[in-house]
């Protein structure tokens, strides 16, 4: 069975559609909770508006102009949102607003958005690593990149587990 791929980038098209759907889900979730955050403080609402817009606008960018820069942009943006989520659940909301340094609770809606964002990072990371492997990069470089990717997110996962316990 032949896998459908994009002619321009030779990336598995199915995985791109999964990432697009997850980005849309996370963006719409941020849009859904945005009004309640505007009620708390305009800065919180503005953050959710920008996050939602970025995640929704990422979908056509990903599907139309798939390249390494776009993939890395998705990894960086979603990783930053996940990191901020973990920070607000473990340390508190950093610096600004009416609830600065107050630790936020964990809810099902935010876990859905964050799980989507983590899945986006993993899927896009997989696509980047596959492209590196196709470019005949040594196996050592591929393994090192995978270890660094997992190692970079291991503290975040451990912090979340500690916060949940």
Digit-by-digit pLDDT tens for the chain (165 residues) are: 333 444 444 557 889 999 999 999 999 999 999 999 999 999 999 999 999 999 999 999 999 999 999 999 999 999 999 999 999 999 888 888 888 888 889 999 999 999 999 999 999 998 988 877 776 656 666 667 777 777 777 777 677 767 776
| Tokens coding 66 | 């798939």
What is residue 7's three-state secondary structure?
A: coil
**98: phi then psi, degrees, rounded to nearest 5:** -70, -20
What are the extents of the domains in the chain?
Answer: 13-164
H-helix or E-strand containing 84?
helix 68-90
- End-to-end Cα distance, the chain: 45
Look up the pTM and report it.
0.76
**C-alpha distance from residue 137 to each of 10, 15, 66, 70, 143 (Å):** 17, 22, 21, 21, 10
């Amino acid at each position: 069975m032949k896998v459908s791929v994009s002619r321009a980038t030779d990336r598995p098209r199915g995985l791109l559609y999964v990432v697009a759907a997850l980005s849309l889900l996370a963006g719409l979730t941020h849009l859904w909770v945005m009004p309640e955050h505007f009620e708390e403080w305009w800065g919180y609402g503005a953050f959710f508006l920008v996050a939602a817009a970025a995640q929704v606008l990422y979908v056509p960018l990903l599907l139309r102009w798939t390249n390494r820069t776009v993939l890395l942009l998705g990894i960086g943006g979603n990783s930053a949102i996940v990191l901020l989520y973990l920070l607000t659940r473990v340390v508190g909301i950093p610096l600004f607003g009416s609830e600065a340094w107050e630790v936020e609770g964990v809810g099902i809606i935010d876990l859905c958005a964050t799980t989507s964002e983590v899945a986006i990072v993993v899927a896009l990371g997989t696509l980047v690593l596959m492209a590196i492997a196709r470019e005949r990069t040594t196996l050592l470089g591929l393994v090192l990149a995978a270890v660094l990717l997992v190692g970079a997110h291991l503290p975040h996962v451990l912090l979340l587990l500690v916060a949940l316990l």
